[in-house]
Chains A and B, each alone.
Chain A
């Protein structure tokens, strides 16, 4: 009979004897055959054992000005995987010339699919973006989420002479760098 270790937020504990065990996994949305290592020797003096598992889904974040599949694509927007609290993991993914940021190896499941958390960390400099943590889930192996990055709002800039109150400067150029 197997000893079952319940994992919550990446951690589980169990009382165990020193011995060698074959390891299997039951993680919804992941390829359970990728559990690594697949055997473990519990030895005196070591009380923490790390494992990894991977998935085969693909999530595409498609960024456009109007948030539709046919909208003008935003090139150079960046996204990163997070947990539910917003802690970032992995490396940022940047949208290509089609406006697509592709996350490979994400979980999917036709039932109780795990949530995939992500957030946008930048746009192309000309568009607004929402940097809060979002989530989605995949019930099939591939999926696309449409994301809107609106054009920056029209702003009015005034430039006046510092020595003569309210005297407008006739012609000038201001450069804003963010």
Chain B
């Protein structure tokens, strides 16, 4: 809420989707564990008003990943968190088998396309 010593801050989450697709769910707690915000990011960003010189806990979930971190609101800065660090491929090779449904014949040539949800 604007006013009462509140300042506008941005919290940015790297690794989430665009617009309103595949956004992080975010809850922000004050030092008394009261929820002061409960919503979703847009374009991976959250803009809101928090009290200056206060500590808050940011808890964000995106798919199965969770970020839980305190922030100390000093000024109208942007706080950045990343979901990417937990999703970097670890050079793990996955094998895909493609066969003909009726004959169980291996498909000689083709492509499987995987669209991340």
Q: Which residue of A lies closest to B95 (CB)?
A: A48
The smallest C-beta distance from A149 to any residue of chain B, in angstroms, reads 24
Give the distance in Å from the alpha carbon of A36 to the alpha carbon of B92 in the complex. Answer: 23
From residue 3 to 40 of chain A, which have CB atoms closer than 8 A to chain B? 3-17, 19-28, 30, 34-36, 39-40
Also in contact, A12 and B98, with CB within 8 A (given A4-B111, A4-B113, A90-B103): yes
Chain B neighbourhood of A47, CB < 8 A: 92-95
Q: Which residue of A lies closest to B87 (CB)?
A: A17
Chain A neighbourhood of B105, CB < 8 A: 10, 81, 83, 89-90
Chain A neighbourhood of B87, CB < 8 A: 17, 19
Comparing A49-57, A122-130, A159-167, the segment that makes contact with chain B is A49-57
Also in contact, A81 and B103, with CB within 8 A (given A3-B113, A28-B110): yes
> Is there contact, CB below 8 Å, between B116 and A3?
yes
> Is there contact, CB below 8 Å, between A40 and B102?
no
> Is there contact, CB below 8 Å, between B96 and A12?
yes
Chain A neighbourhood of B109, CB < 8 A: 7-8, 27-28, 114
> Is there contact, CB below 8 Å, between B102 and A104?
yes
Q: Which residue of B lies closest to A12 (CB)?
A: B96
Q: Which residue of B lies closest to A26 (CB)?
A: B111
Give the distance in Å from the alpha carbon of A104 to the alpha carbon of B100 in the complex. Answer: 12
Q: Is A69 an interface residue (CB 8 A)?
A: no
Q: Is B33 an interface residue (CB 8 A)?
A: no
Q: Is A136 an interface residue (CB 8 A)?
A: no
> Is there contact, CB below 8 Å, between B102 and A7?
no
Q: Is A133 an interface residue (CB 8 A)?
A: no
Chain A neighbourhood of B91, CB < 8 A: 15
The smallest C-beta distance from B25 to any residue of chain A, in angstroms, reads 17
Q: Which residues of A contact B (CB under 8 A)?
A: 2-17, 19-28, 30, 34-36, 39-40, 42, 47-55, 81, 83-84, 89-90, 104-105, 114-115
Given A8-B109, A90-B104; 14 other pairs, CB 8 A cutoff: A2-B115, A6-B110, A7-B98, A10-B107, A13-B96, A15-B91, A19-B87, A21-B115, A27-B107, A40-B114, A53-B107, A81-B103, A89-B103, A114-B108
A and B contact pairs by CB, cutoff 8 A, 19 listed? A6-B111, A11-B95, A15-B89, A15-B91, A16-B94, A23-B115, A25-B110, A25-B112, A26-B111, A27-B111, A34-B101, A47-B94, A49-B96, A50-B96, A51-B96, A51-B98, A52-B99, A54-B100, A89-B105
